[in-house]
Chain A
Amino acid sequence: MSTPNIVELYGVTKAFGALTVLHDIDLTIQQGEILTLLGPSGCGKTTLMRIIAGFEATTHGRVTIQGADVSYLPPDKRPVNMVFQRYALFPHLDVFDNVAFGLRLKKWPKERIREAVQHMLHLVQLGEYGNRWIHELSGGQAQRVALARALVNSPSVLLLDEPLAALDLKIRHHMLAELKRIHQETGTTFIYVTHDQDEATILSDRIVLMNKGRIEQIGTPEEMYAHPRSLFCARFLGETNILTGAVRAAETDTTYVDVGPGTVKVPANGAAVAIGQNVSLAIRPEALQVSRLAPGGAGGDGVNALDGVVEDVVFMGSRVVYSIRTSVETIKYQETRSVDGIMLAKGEPVRASWRPDAAVLLTH
C-alpha cells in the first residue's frame, strides 16, 4: 500500500452505441475516505461505479486499484465488493450462507469462516440472525446483511450503489449513522453512489458532483456548499437564491453586477468577466439579513440590498423560511426561530441585504 490513492481513474470514457455516458473522467480516491458520486439520474454515476466494480468495460481509459491496472479484470478478480441497490441477497441461502458466500469461494477453513461471519453479523448488529431466511428480513435488516456479505471479504474498496434508496426516511437516517460507524470501525474505503444531496453531505468526506457524464465539481461537503463553482452545483446542493444581471465593473478582487435597480458587489471568482456579460449570483437563504422597513420609508434598492414584501412564511420547527418578493426575484430567507416566535408577518415591507462575501459569482 505504497500509494495513498486506492483507486485511480484516467480518462475514463464510456459509450453505449452512439450515446456517450462518461466523458474523459479523471478521479483519484484516497485510502480510507468516504467518497460520494452525487448527481441526478442519468449523470453517469452508477456507470462509473460499475466500471470500478468491473461490470462495465471502459470505452477508453484506465482503472487502477492499489496501483495495479484492473481495466481488463473481470469483477471476480477485483479486490472490491459491492452493496447493490436492491440488496441482491441470494434467496435460496440463509443469512449465514449469504455472508459466507465469498469466503467459501476463497476456500477458507470452516472454522475461520464461521468466526468471520459471526464477527461481521455482530458488526452490523444481526448477531442472532444467522439462520433466518432472506424473505424473513425487513428492508433495513436486508441492507445490513448485504453490507456484511460485502465487508466480510475485507475489500480494498466497498462500493455502495444507492443502498438506502429502497428504505423509508426514518430507517434511512438511522442507516446513515450506521454506515458512518461501520466505516470508522473497519477503516474501509467507501465509494457511495446517490442522487440524494442530504445523504451525500451527511456521509461524505468528499463529494464528486456529476452532470451529463462529466465531473462538475469535487470537494468536501462544506466547500461545495460555500463555494459552488457552477449554477448546477449551487442549485443541486441545498437551497439557494440565484440572481442574474450584467457586469457593470470588474476590479481585481471585486466584481460589480447590476441586479434590477441596484448594484451587487461580489468577490471575483478568478474567471475573466467582460463588462456587460450576464452572470449569476448565488446567495444561500441563511446568509441574508432581513430588517423591517418603516412604512413609507422605502429608500429604494442600494448596494447588496433588495427591498420587498414578505409573501409567505413557512414554519419548520427550529427554523423559519420566508419568501420575499422583490422587484427582480422572489428570494428565500431562512432564520433560526427565536424564543420570541416568528419575527416577520406576511405582507410586511422588508429589506434583504448581505455581506459581499456571502454571494458567489457564477459565470456558467
Chain B
Amino acid sequence: MLRIYVWLYVAFLYAPIAIITLFSFHSSPALTFPFEGVSLRWYAKIFSDATFMASLWNSVIVGASTALVTTILGSLTALGLARLKGRIQTLFGLLAFGPVALPGLFLGIALVMLFSQIGLQRSLVTIIIAHVLFTLPFFIEAVRSRIEYFDLSLEEAARDLGATPLQTFRLVTLPIIGPTIGGAAILSFALSFDEFIITVFVSGNDTTLPLTIWSMMRRAVSPDINAASVISLGLSIGLILIGGLLVWYQRRLALSARAKDMEA
C-alpha cells in the first residue's frame, strides 16, 4: 500500500515536469499523444524570439545582482545576530525573518507606493530592490543556524595566534562559513529567478522571464512555452549543480594541496 502511495506521490510531483520536457522536443505543435517525433524547432523558435531572450537576460542580471546584494547584507546581518545576546537576539531574529510571512501582494503594492513617492522609475533596479527584500529573510535564516553554531573561540584562537581582525575573517571565519553562504547565495538567485507576484508590481518596461512566459501563456498555449519552461528549469538545476560542484572542487583543491605539502 505504502509503496503504491509513494510511487503515486513521485508521479504527481514529477509527471508534469517530464511531460513538459517531453513535449518541448515534440516535432508537431500538438500537445497531446501520440508523440510524432523529436525536434528542436521550439527551442530554435524561442531562441530567436527577441522578447524572450531579453527577458531571460534580464532575469539573469536581476538574479545575480539580487544574490550579490543579499549575500553581502545577509551575511553581515547573520554575523551581527550571532553576536547579540538573549532577548535582543530573539527580537532582531524575528524582525529579520518576519517579512517571510508578508504576502507578496502586500509587499508589491507597498513597494510601488514607496517607489512612486520617492520618484524612482520602475526598472530592473526596482525589481532588484524588491527581490533583495524578498530573498533576504530566506538568506539570513539559511545562514543563521550555521553561524550561530560557529564557535566564536575559533576567532579568538586566530587572534591569539597573531591574526589581525581582517586576517581572522579571511583565514578562519570565511572558510568555515563560506560554503553555507555560497549555498544561500544560490538559493537567493533561484528565488529571484522565478519570483512572479512582487515582480508584476515593481517591473517597468523591462520584464523578467516568469513575466514573459506568463504573457505568452495569455496569448495562446503554444509549444514554445514548453521550451521556455524547460530552459528556465534547466538554468535553475544547472545553477544548483554549479554551486554543489564549487563546494566539492574547493574541498578537492584543499586535499591535493595537502598531499603536495606532504610530498615536499
Contact = CB atoms under 8 A, between A and B. Distances in A.
A130 B264 CA distance: 14
Interface string A80-111: 11101110111110101100011001100010
A110 B262 CA distance: 12
14 contacts: A55-B159, A75-B160, A86-B151, A88-B151, A88-B153, A94-B258, A96-B258, A96-B261, A101-B161, A101-B171, A102-B162, A130-B262, A131-B262, A150-B161
B153 A84 contact: yes
Contact of B161 (A96, A102, A131): A102
Contacts of A82: 156-157, 160
A76 interface: yes
Interface of A: 53-55, 74-76, 80-82, 84-86, 88-92, 94, 96-97, 101-102, 105-106, 110, 114, 130-131, 149-150, 153
A86 to B, nearest CB: 7
Interface of B is mostly: helix
A77 to B, nearest CB: 8
A105 B157 contact: no
A53 B258 contact: no
Interface of A is mostly: mixed
Contacts of A106: 162
Contact of B176 (A85, A91, A110, A153): A91
Interface string B149-175: 001011011111111100100011001
Contact of B154 (A88, A96, A97, A105): A88
A76 B160 contact: yes
Contacts of A102: 161-162
Contacts of A101: 158, 161, 163, 171
Contact of A153 (B153, B158, B162, B172): B162
A75 B153 CA distance: 13
Contacts of B159: 54-55, 74-76
What are the 8 closest A-B residue pairs judged by CB atoms, nearest first?
A102-B161, A88-B157, A88-B153, A75-B159, A105-B162, A92-B175, A82-B160, A76-B162
